[in-house]
Chain A
Amino acid sequence: MKYTLMLLCAFGVHNIYAQDTYKGKVLDTYNSSIEKANITVNDSVVATTDKFGMFEVTLNEPSAVYIYAEGYEVLEAELTDKDQFYTFQIQPEASLNELVVNVNKKNTERNKGITNSQTMNSGELLKAACCNLAESFETNPSIDVNFSDAISGSKQIKMLGLTSPYILIAEENIPSVRGASQAYGLSFTPGTWVESIQVTKGAGSVVNGFESISGQINTELIKPGNDIPFFLNLYGSTDARFELNAHFNEKISDKWSTSLFVHGNTRVKKNDMNHDGFLDNPLGSQVNVMNRWQYQNLEKGWIAFITARYMKDEKQTGEIDFDKKQHKLSTLKWGSELNTDKFDASTKVGYVFPDQPYKSFGWQNSFSYHKQNSYFGLNQFDITQRSIYSNFLYSSIISNTLHKFSTGASFMHDDYSEFVANYGNRNFDRTDTSYGAFFEYTYDNANNLALILGGRIDNSNRLGTFVTPRMHLRYNPGEKTTLRASAGRGKRLANIFAENQYLFASSRQFNILNEGGKAYGMDPEIAWNYGLSVSQDFTFLGKNASLTLDFYRTDFQNQIVVDMDQSARTVNFYNLDGKSYANSFQAELNYNIIKHLNLRTAYKYYDIKTTYGDKTLERPLQAKHRLFANLEFTTHENNGSYWKFDATWNWLGAQRLPYTGDNSAENQLASYTNPFSTINAQVTKVFSDRFEVYVGGENIGNYQQHRVILGADDPFGNEFDSTIVYGPIFGQMYYAGLRFKIK
C-alpha cells in the first residue's frame, strides 16, 4: 500500500504530537529498497535507511523532511502520522530535466535533449587553473584546448577538429566571440562570472544564427537574482600571473536585483624558460567590469536583464630586452603589443503567459564596440568593430505540447574598420548587415522519439539571400540507450586577418589569391555538418557507467584555405579548390568507480584534410589521435568541510607541421611532431560553504616544445617564425588561490 500521495495532500493537517516515532521505507522507481538514504529535517540528518531501505525517526512534531540518496533526486515530504508506515519512492538523478534541487549534481552532464549537448556547471570550471572561458574547457573531452601561442598567451579551442571561427560562441544566447574578437574573445570572460556552459556538438539550433558549423557554445553568466552578496577569488601562479575576482550583489526589492563583477589580472615578470631570448608568455594586464540588473515578476510572467560591461586588455611580448618606448615598430628589437578596448551593453526581455506556460516570447538587443591596436614586429594590425544585434523569439505549441515551435526574426549589423600593414598597408573597411527570419518545429512523442526541424532565411549585403536548414533527432530504443542524429548547413564570412592574426608574428608574407569575391576578394565559407551519436548507460560491478560514441563529418563546399605549405615565406589565402573535410570520432567512457570517485576517459580520432595547392594534406598542428582521462575524487562532507582532487591527462599523437623545407637547415622542422602527454592536477580544500583554498599544477610532467621560434637570432630576417606551436612553451607551472563567499 502506498501513501506517498497522502504526504503531499496532507498539507494543512496540524495534529499535535509529542515525541512520536515515524517509520517508513525508501524505494527506487523499481520498488527496490535503497540503503543509506538520508532523512533530513532542517538540514540535519535525523535518520538513515538500513539495507532494507527502512528507517525509524523520532520527532517532536510533525515535520517536513527531505529524503536524499546518492544518485537520486531529493524528495520533499511530510511526516505527520505516527500510525502510518510511510513508503517513499525517489527518482534516479538521471531523470532530472533541469533545475531541480541540486545536491551533488554532476559537474558536467550530458543533456537529455534532442541535440547532442552537455552542460558544464561552475563546478567544472573550478577545475582549471585560473580560468577565463578558454581555459575552462581543459577538463572537457568534447573540446580540444590548444597550447597558447607565445604572442597572445591565449588558448584557442577546437570542436570536431575545427577552430573557433567555425563554432558559434554566444554569451546568454547573444553571439559574442566573432569578427574582431574571434581570436582572443574567449579570454575576455573571466571564469568566475560563469554560471554554466552548454556545449552542443554539430549543427545546433537556427535560433542563434546561420554561422555555426561544427558546434555551439553558450555561456550563461551568474544571474543577479540567484547571486550571493559577496564573492572574492584571489589567484597567483609561478609564471607570475595574478588574478582578482570580486562580485557584489544587492537585492533591491523582490523584483529588482543587481550584481557588480570586477576582474583584474596581470603578469609582471618576464619568463624565458627555454632561453631563446623571447618571452614565453606575454606581460600584460586586464581590467574587466560588468554590471547587471535583473527584473523578475514571476506572477505576471516577466523577466528582464540589463547588462553593461567594459574591458581593457594590454599585452606585450617579444624579445626579452624589447622596450616599447624605444623599440616599437623598429628593427632594433622584435616586440609586439596587443591592446584591446571593449564595451558591451545588452538587454533581454522575456515573457511567459501565466495561464499558458508553453507560450512565451523573448527579445534580446545588444551593442558592442571592440577596438584592437596591435603590432607584431613591423606588422601593424588595427581593427575596430561596432555591432548591433537584435533577436526576437516567440514560442508556442501546435494543438498540444508534443508539437512545439519557435519562430522569430533577427537583425545583425557589423561595422568594421581594419588596417593591415602586412598586406600593402591597406584598409579593409566594410559593413555587414543581415536580417533574417527563422522557424523551428519540435516534436516529442513523450516516449522515445523527438526531433527538431529548423530553418532560417537570411539576407545579407555580402552573402545574398540564403536558406539555412538544420535537423536533429533523438531516439531511445531502450531505457538506457540514446541515439542522436543531426545535419545542418552553416555559412559565414571569414575575417581572415583577425582570425589568423597570430601569423603576423612571423616573416611570412600574406597573399590573397582570388579576386572579385565579397570577402577580401574571396567567397563565403559554406559547410554541411552531419553527426551520429550513440550513448549507452550501464552498470559495471554495480556502479554506473556510460559509453558514448560520436561520429561527425563536416564537408566544406567552400572554405578559405589558410595555406602555410607552399613556402615558409608565405601564407596564402584562397577559395577551396579541391576538397576539405573534417571527420571526427570520439569514444567517451565515464565510470563511477566508487562513491565520490569518477573517471572520465575519451579516445578521439580526427581525419581532417584539405587540398593545399595541388596536394590534399592533413590539417597542420592537428593530432590524428588523442587520449584524455580525468579523475575526480571528493571526500565525504563533514560539517561542510571536504577535499576535492582532480587530475587530467592528455595524450596527443603526432601532428603534421607546416612546410619549412625552404629555410636554411637549422630552421627546418621535421614533417611530424613526436607524441607527448601533459598532466594537470588540482587539490581544493573546502573549509565551509564560505571559504576554500586550492593549489594545482599544469603540465606537471614538464613537457616543453623543443623549439618554438625559428630564426630567433634574426627576427627581422626571412626565416623568423614564432607561429608553429604544437605543445606547451612554458614548462611546469604551479598555482594557488582562494575563494571567499558571503551568503
Chain B
Amino acid sequence: MKKYLLVLLAVLGVAFTSTAQEKKSKNAKVDVEVKGNCDMCKKRIEKAAFAVKGVKSADWHSDDQTLHLIIDENKTTALKVQESVAKAGHDTKEVKAEKDTYDNLHGCCQYDRES
C-alpha cells in the first residue's frame, strides 16, 4: 500500500514538475489522476473538463485512471480542471469531491475512495 502511494507520487510528481517549469504553452500536455470506473464516469469526467475554458482536449482512461489533457496555459491550469472534475463527483490528485456529490453518483460510478 505504501509502495503504491510512493510510486504514484513519483509518477505524478514528474508529470507536474516537468510542465510547471516550462513557460506557458498554448498546447500543454498534462496528465492528471482522476478516479472513476466506467464509461458513464468517462463521459462525466470529460464533460467537466471541457466545461473549463482553455481545455482543448480531454481524454480519460479507466485503465490508468488518468485524464489526459491538452490545455492552453494562458487560459487555465490543471488545478482549475481538477476543481471542475471534483465538483462533478470525481476525486483528482489535488482536489477531492464533496461527499454529497460522490454519494449521488450512479451505482457503477461509486469508485473506491481513498481513506
Contact = CB atoms under 8 A, between A and B. Distances in A.
Contact of B38 (A1, A29, A400, A401): A29
A541 interface: no
Contacts of A358: 56-57, 70
Contacts of A75: 63
A233 B50 CA distance: 50
Contact of B39 (A2, A95, A397): A95
Interface residues of B, number: 29
B43 to A, nearest CB: 5
A99 interface: no
Interface string A336-376: 00000000000000000001111000000000000000000
A358 B108 CA distance: 31
Contacts of A8: 63-65
Interface in A251-308: none
A6 B63 contact: no
Given A10-B4, A400-B50, A447-B47, A29 B63 contact: no
Interface in A393-408: 397, 399-402
A89 B8 contact: no
Contact of B70 (A356, A446, A447): A356
Interface string A1-43: 1111110111011000000000000000111000000000000
Given A4-B65, A31-B108, A397 B56 contact: yes
Given A8-B63, A30-B108, A400-B57, A89 B37 contact: yes
A9 B10 CA distance: 9
B63 A4 contact: yes
Contact of B27 (A10, A355, A401): A355
A9 B47 contact: no
Interface string B8-40: 100100000000000001010100010001110
A358 B56 CA distance: 9
A8 B29 CA distance: 19
Contacts of A31: 37, 108
A323 interface: no
A446 B56 contact: no
A91 interface: yes
A692 interface: no
A250 interface: no
A577 interface: no
A contact patch SS: loop
A76 to B, nearest CB: 8
Contacts of B53: 399
Given A6-B8, A8-B63, A75-B63, A402 B50 contact: yes
A61 interface: no
A5 B65 contact: yes
Interface residues of A, number: 32
B62 interface: yes
B55 A400 contact: yes
Contact of B57 (A3, A13, A401): A401
Interface string A62-93: 00000000000001100001000000010100
Nearest to B44: A447
Contacts of B8: 5-6, 9
B55 A13 contact: no
A362 to B, nearest CB: 19
A12 B39 CA distance: 29
B6 to A, nearest CB: 9
Given A9-B11, A400-B56, A446 B62 contact: no
Contacts of A2: 111-112
A358 B112 CA distance: 33
Contact of B112 (A1, A30, A356): A1
Interface string B58-88: 1000111100001000000000000000000
Given A10-B4, A30-B38, A356-B27, A5 B47 contact: no
A446 B47 contact: yes
B29 A5 contact: no
Contacts of B56: 356, 358, 397, 399-401
A75 B38 CA distance: 14
A736 to B, nearest CB: 44
A446 B37 contact: no
A446 B43 contact: yes
Contacts of A446: 43, 46-47, 50
Nearest to A398: B56
B51 to A, nearest CB: 10
Contacts of B63: 4, 8, 75-76
Contacts of A356: 27, 56, 70
Nearest to B108: A30
Contacts of A30: 38, 108
Nearest to A358: B57
Contacts of A400: 50, 55-58
Interface string A644-656: 0000000000000
B64 A401 contact: no
Nearest to A76: B63
A401 B55 CA distance: 9
A17 to B, nearest CB: 13
A29 B39 contact: yes
Interface string A496-535: 0000000000000000000000000000000000000000
Contacts of B99: none
B75 to A, nearest CB: 10
A9 B37 CA distance: 17
A401 B58 CA distance: 8
A81 B3 contact: yes
Given A5-B65, A8-B64, A13 B39 contact: no
A89 B108 contact: no
B112 A10 contact: no
28 contacts: A2-B112, A4-B62, A4-B65, A5-B8, A5-B64, A6-B7, A6-B8, A9-B8, A9-B11, A9-B64, A10-B4, A13-B7, A29-B62, A30-B108, A89-B37, A91-B62, A355-B25, A355-B29, A356-B27, A356-B70, A358-B57, A399-B53, A400-B50, A401-B56, A446-B43, A446-B47, A447-B43, A447-B47
Q: Give 3 closest A-B pairs by Cβ, nearest first.
A: A5-B65, A29-B38, A2-B112
Given A400-B58, A447-B47, 13 more contacts: A4-B63, A10-B4, A29-B38, A30-B38, A30-B108, A91-B39, A91-B62, A355-B70, A358-B57, A399-B56, A400-B57, A401-B56, A447-B43
